[in-house]
Structure 1
Amino acid sequence: MSILDHLPILPILIPLITAAALIPINDRNRDMKGVISVLSSAVVFVVSLSLMYAAADQPEGMPLVYLLGNWSAPYGIVLVVDRLSAVMLVLSSLVALGAQTFSMARWHRQGFHYHSLFQFMAVGINGAFLTGDMFNLFVFFEIMLGASYGLLLHGSGPMRVKKGLHYIAINLAASSLFLIGVSLIYGATGTLNMADLALRIGQLNVENRMLMEAGAALLGIAFLVKAAMWPLGFWLPGAYAAASPPSAAFFAILTKVGAYILLRFSMLLFGAGAGPSAGFGLSVLLYGGLATILFGLIGVLASQALGRLAAYCIIVSSGTLLTAIGIADRAVIAGALLYLVTSTLAACALFLLIELVERARDAGADVLAVTMEAYGDSDDDQVETEVGVAVPGTMAVLGLCFVVTAMLLAGLPPFSGFLAKVSILHGLFGSGPPGAAINFQGLSGAQWAYVALLILSGLSTLIAMNRVGIRTFWISLEGTVPRIYMIEIAPILLLLGACAVLTLGAGSAISYLEATADALVRPQGYIESVLSVPRIASPRGD
Structure 2
Amino acid sequence: MTSWTDHLIILPILLPLFVGAVMLLIDERYQQIKAFANLASIVMMGIIALLLMRAADVTTATGTAPIAVYRLGDWPAPFAIVLVADRLSALMLALTSVLAFASTIFATARWHRVGAHFHSLMQFLLMGLNGAFLTGDLFNLFVFFELLLAASYGLVLHGSGQARVRAGLQYIAINLTASVLFLIGVSLIYAVTGTLNMADLAIRIPQVPTQDRALLEAGAAILGVAFMVKAGMWPLCFWLPTTYAAAAAPVAAIFAIMSKVGIYILLRLSLLFFGAGSGASALFGSEWLVAAGIATILFGLIGALASQEISRLAGYAVLVSSGTVLAVAAAAGTAAVTASALFYLVSSTLAIAAFFMLIELLERGRDPGADMLAVTREAYGEDMPDDPDAEEVGMVIPASMAILGWCFVGCAAVIAGLPPVSGFIAKFSMLTALLSGDTGSSITPLHWTLLALLMLSGLTMLIAMTRAGIRTLWSPTERADPRIRLAEIVPIALLLLGCAAMTVQPQAAMTYMQGAAKSLHTPAAYIDSVLAPAQTRVKLGGGS
| TM-score of the pair, normalised by structure 1 | 0.95
Contact 1:282 1:325 in 2 (8 A): no
The answer on 1:373 being equivalent to 2:378 is yes
Alignment equivalent of 1:332, drawn from 333, 337, 342: 337
The aligned residue for residue 416 of structure 2 is 410
Per the TM alignment, residue 57 of structure 1 is displaced from its structure 2 partner at its CA by 2.1
**Once the two structures are superposed, what CA deviation does each residue of 1:305-343 show, in whole Å capped at 9, x if it has no partner?**
111000000000111011023212221111000000011
CA contact (8 A) 2:431 2:451 kept: yes
Assess if the C-alpha contact under 8 Å between 1:288 and 1:319 holds in 2.
yes
Structure 2, unaligned stretches of length 5 or more? 538-544
Aligned to 2:480: 480
Matches within 5 A, 1:142-221: 142-221=146-225
Q: 1:157 to 1:275 in 2, by over 3 A?
A: same
Q: CA deviation at 1:177?
A: 0.5
Partner of 2:349: 344
Question: Structure 1 counterpart of 2:522, which letter?
Answer: R
- For 1:155, what is the secondary structure of its paired residue? coil
Structure 2 residue aligned with 1:357: 362
Residue 253 of structure 2 corresponds to residue 253 of structure 1: no
Question: Deviation digits for residues 363-403 of structure 1, max 9, x if unmatched?
Answer: 11011111111223523786684698543221111111100
Q: Distance in 2 between matches of 1:114 and 1:90?
A: 21
Task: Name 1:540's counterpart in structure 2.
Answer: none
Q: Could you say which residue in structure 1 is the equivalent of 2:513?
A: 513
CA deviation digits over 1:91-113, x for unaligned, max 9? Answer: 11111111111111111111111
* Shift, 1:479, TM fit: 4.3
The answer on whether the counterparts of 1:287 and 1:446 sit within 8 Å (CA) in structure 2 is no
Conserved 8 A contact 2:19-2:123: yes
In the alignment, the residues of structure 2 paired with residue 157 and residue 387 of structure 1 have an alpha-carbon distance, to the nearest angstrom, of 34
Residues 389 and 476 of structure 2 are in contact (CA less than 8 Å); yes or no, is this contact kept in structure 1? no
Alignment of 1:28-43 (within 5 A): 28-43=29-44
Root-mean-square deviation (Å): 1.8
2:274 paired with 1:282: no
SS at match of 1:342: helix
1:447 corresponding residue in structure 2:
447
1:248-299 Cα deviation digits (max 9, x unpaired): 1111101000000000011111112210001011000111111110110000
1:427 — aligned with what? Answer: 433
Corresponding position: 1:397 with 2:397 = no
Check whether the contact 1:189–1:197 (CA below 8 A) recurs between aligned residues: yes
What is the match of residue 24 of structure 1? 25
Aligned to 1:272: 276
Residue 69 (str. 1) matches residue 73 (str. 2): yes
Q: Within the alignment, does 1:501 sit opposite 2:489 as a pair?
A: no
**Structure 1 pair 156/388, CA: closer, same or farther in 2 (3 Å)?**
closer
Determine helix, strand or coil for the equivalent of 1:79. Answer: strand
In 2 relative to 1, CA 83–478 (structure 1 residues): closer, same or farther, beyond 3 Å? same
Q: What does the per-residue CA deviation read over 1:492-538, in whole Å, with 9 as the maximum and x for residues that have no partner? A: 0111111111111101111111111111111101100111042499x
Determine the C-alpha separation between the residues in 2 that align with 1:70 and 1:478. Answer: 65
Residue by residue over 1:36-71, the C-alpha shift from the partner in whole angstroms, topping out at 9 and shown as x without a partner, is 101111111111111111110252123111111111
Aligned partner of residue 273 in structure 1, secondary structure: coil
Is the contact between residue 124 and residue 140 of structure 1 (CA under 8 Å) also seen in structure 2? yes
User: Residue 480 of structure 1: CA displacement?
Assistant: 2.2
Moved more, 222-231 or 444-453: 444-453
Q: Distance in 1 between matches of 2:535 and 2:396?
A: 68
C-alpha change, 1:380 and 1:408, in structure 2 (3 Å) is: farther
1:13 equivalent to 2:9? Answer: no
Residues 55 and 66, structure 2, Cα contact 8 Å, conserved in 1: no
Aligned partners of 1:174 and 1:222 also within 8 Å: yes
Contact 1:471-1:477 at 8 Å conserved across structures: no
- For 2:490, the equivalent position in structure 1 comes to 490
1:61 aligned counterpart, secondary structure: coil
User: Does the residue aligned with 2:420 lie in a helix, a strand or coil?
Assistant: coil
CA contact (8 A) 1:237 1:308 kept: yes
Cα distance between partner residues in 2 of 1:479 and 1:29:
35
CA apart distance, 1:32: 1.2
Q: Distance in 2 between matches of 1:495 and 1:446?
A: 34
Partners of 1:517 and 1:404 in 2: CA distance:
28
Whole-Å Cα distance in 2 between the matches of residues 197 and 442 of structure 1? 32
What is the Cα deviation at residue 3 of structure 1? Answer: 2.1
Does the CA contact (< 8 Å) of 1:228 and 1:318 recur in 2?
yes
Letter in 1 for 2:489: I
Deviates more, 1:320-329 or 1:294-303: 320-329
Q: Which amino acid aligns with 2:29?
A: R
Count of matched residue pairs: 531
- CA–CA separation in structure 1 for the residues paired with 2:309 and 2:449: 29
1:7-55 Cα distance to aligned partner (Å, 9 max, x none): 1111111111111010010001112111110111111111111111111
Matches within 5 A, 1:72-91: 72-91=76-95
Q: Determine helix, strand or coil for the equivalent of 2:277.
A: helix
Given that residues 393 and 474 in structure 2 are in contact (C-alpha distance below 8 angstroms), is that contact kept between their aligned partners in structure 1?
no
Q: Is the 8 A contact 1:331 1:517 kept in 2?
A: yes
TM-score (ref. length: structure 2) = 0.95
AA matched with 1:11: P
Structure 1 gap ranges (5+): 433-438, 538-542
Q: Secondary structure at the match of 1:413?
A: coil
Structure 2: which amino acid aligns with 1:40? S
Q: Structure 1 counterpart of 2:234, which letter?
A: W
Quick check: 1:530 aligned with 2:530?
yes
- Report the equivalent of 2:116: 112
SS of the counterpart of 1:28? coil
Indicate the SS of the match to 2:140. Answer: helix
User: Is the 1:199–1:273 Cα contact (8 Å) retained in structure 2?
Assistant: no
| Correspondence for 2:542 | none
Please give the secondary structure, in 1, of the residue aligned with 2:195: coil
8 Å Cα contact 2:289-2:330 kept in structure 1: yes
Distance 1:397 1:8 in 2: 40
2:408 partner letter? F
**Distance in 2 (alpha carbons) for counterparts of 1:188 and 1:384:** 69
Counterpart residue type for residue 181 of structure 2: L
Matched letter for residue 354 of structure 2 = A
State the Cα distance separating 1:449 from its structure 2 match.
1.4
Task: Report if aligned partners of 2:392, 2:476 keep a CA contact under 8 Å in 1.
Answer: no
